[in-house]
Structures are given as C-alpha cells and as structure tokens.
Structure 1
C-alpha cells in the first residue's frame, strides 16, 4: 500500500457502563450499553468502511462493546486488545496510531473518553459540514463514533493531519 493511500480512523467510545463496586477497569456494560453497542455496530456496517484492524482497550466495558458491535459488521476484522488504550492520553493515542502497519487502510479504536473525543478533535485539521460542531455539542457520549480520513503513512499521523467526515451518537 502506498503512502498516498487514503486511510480512515474510526474512534468508537465504549457503550454505557455500570457503576458497580468493581474497579474502573472491571466495570461491565449497563443494560443501556448492551442495547446501544449493537446499534453502533449496525451504523458502522452501513457506513461502507471495511475495517482492517480493530484495537480495543482491555477494560471490560470496551471488550463487551466490541463483542456486541462486531456481530453487526459484515466481516470481522483482526482485533488486538491493547492495554495502552485504557486511560490513554492524547500523546499515547497518537503514538499508537503511528505504530499501525501501513498495510492497514481502515483502523478502528475502541476506547474511552476523554481520549476518543480529544483524538478526533486533534486530528481534524478540516471538517465536513457541521460534523465538528455536532461532535463538540454532544460531548462524544457513550457508543458514539467519529470518522477521520487522511492520506499518508501512519507514521505521519499528527495534529491536524485529517478531515473529520462523520460523527454519530445513538441518542443524538
């Protein structure tokens, strides 16, 4: 794949989690999260994005979100459970993107806020229509996802390199 290949990054925030007595990492999905995750998967399936690689946080709520969402996709992409996505800073998220192999055209990250929102905002040098204002107005709720496109190598991903082309939230 050439460095001029158009690429897409899909940033999916985990579905609504329960606030049980478990540690934060071990929190499972709430009933609403179990309903919203497949809806997000169906919306991703209709987006026309063929995900090559999914990187998923190791937190219980992100793994459960992905398990429910991926069932709605026409094809299951290779999935890597990545510890560094849990509580990742913007810099750590950019570093993960920079490590992505260049044979990956479309990448999905399943993670947490504030990281998913911060990353979408940081990457978006341009936006399509009112996508950025809708994303910022909503605050990037659970089960929401943003799609950022860019051209070039994954090693070249940095602030402002992309175009925010889609934002979706289940209750927007």
Structure 2
C-alpha cells in the first residue's frame, strides 16, 4: 500500500517576554500562514487520517488552524516526544503509527523536521523545489512524500518527495 507522509514545520511563533519556549504562541503572521498549509493540503487532495503534533503551543495552534481547512480533521496525537525531537526521534514516532492509516501529517520543529525530510528523500524526486528543501524548511512549509513501505519499515532514503511548499497567508 502506498502511503502519504506530510512533514510540516510550525508557523511563525511570537516571542513574548517571559513566556517559556514551550508555551510560545503563533505570531499574527503565523496565524495567517497556518490555515494556508491546510488549504494547500486540501487543494492537493491530501487528507491525513492521523497527525503527530509536538506538545508545544505553537505546533498545536498550527495544527488546529491547518486542520480547520480540511474536509475532515485528522486524529491528533499531541506528544512531548516531538518537542524539539531530532530526525531519528521523529522517525521512531512515525514508525509507531497504525499500519492501516494511509496518510499522516507530522507538525514539529526545526532542525528535526528539516533533517527528517532530507533523510527520508530517496533522491529521485522531480519536484522543482527539492533544492529549497535541502536548505531547510522555513516556518509554514511542508514536504510531502510517497511512502511505499509500512510505517514501521520507514527508513532514511525510502520515501519519494512529491511536493514541497511554503504556505503564506
């Protein structure tokens, strides 16, 4: 079964004085951009069934705003394990997804989300913006992959990048 994996870097966060990093909300720009991620997914015909979302306020808010633009919101799994997780830790979270889910979205942070996107790519993509992905994922960006294995068998170099976009509202 071919699966779809979408990796999303959270939208732009505010940096209010005295607010711990984990509790930082989205900025005004971030609140405009996050729904654009959902609109992009909806227009691409991508309907994730499950979402792995970092427990940080900015990732939860990004997910809620993007999910609000989808015909059906994915089942959300908020996890502390994705908060500033590295590529390997995020990959382990994806490997634990239920195998019957054909599509998933991960909303997390840099540098982990960018590192994972670059690690998963099999290098055979014809996506024009592959070079942009190599330089890192800016806020409100997404990398979509075709996965030809079970989630539990996902390894570096085993997914095909099918789209890369930076959503701005």
Tell whether the structures are fold-level matches, with TM greater than 0.5.
yes
Residues 95-124 of structure 1, C-alpha deviations (whole Å, 9 max, x = no match): 111111101110100111111111110000
1:107-146, aligned counterparts within 5 Å? Answer: 107-125=104-122, 126-137=124-135, 139-146=136-143
8 Å CA contact retained: 2:41, 2:47: no
Structure 1 residue ranges (4+ consecutive) displaced by more than 2 angstroms after TM superposition? 128-131
> Cα deviation per residue 1:49-87 (whole Å; 9 max; x = unaligned)?
121101111100011111111111011111111111101
Please provide the CA RMSD for this pair: 1.1
Does the CA-based 8 Å contact 2:86-2:113 persist in structure 1? no
Deviation at 1:39, TM superposition (A): 1.1
Deviation of 1:29 (Å): 0.5
Q: Distance in 1 between matches of 2:21 and 2:139?
A: 15
CA distance in 1, matches of 2:147, 2:106: 16
Aligned residue pairs total 166
* Structure 1 Cα separation of the partners of residues 45 and 125 of structure 2: 19
- Structure 2: any 5+ residue segments left out of the alignment? none
1:98 to 95, 100, 103: 95
Which residue does 1:70 correspond to in 2?
Answer: 67
Quote the residue 2:9 is aligned against: 13
User: Unaligned regions of 5+ residues in structure 1, if any?
Assistant: none
Summarize the Cα distance change of 1:129–1:40 in structure 2 as closer, same or farther, 3 Å threshold.
Answer: closer
**Residues 128, 166 of structure 1: 8 Å contact kept:** no
TM-score (norm 2): 0.94
Larger mean CA deviation between 34-43 and 126-135 belongs to 126-135
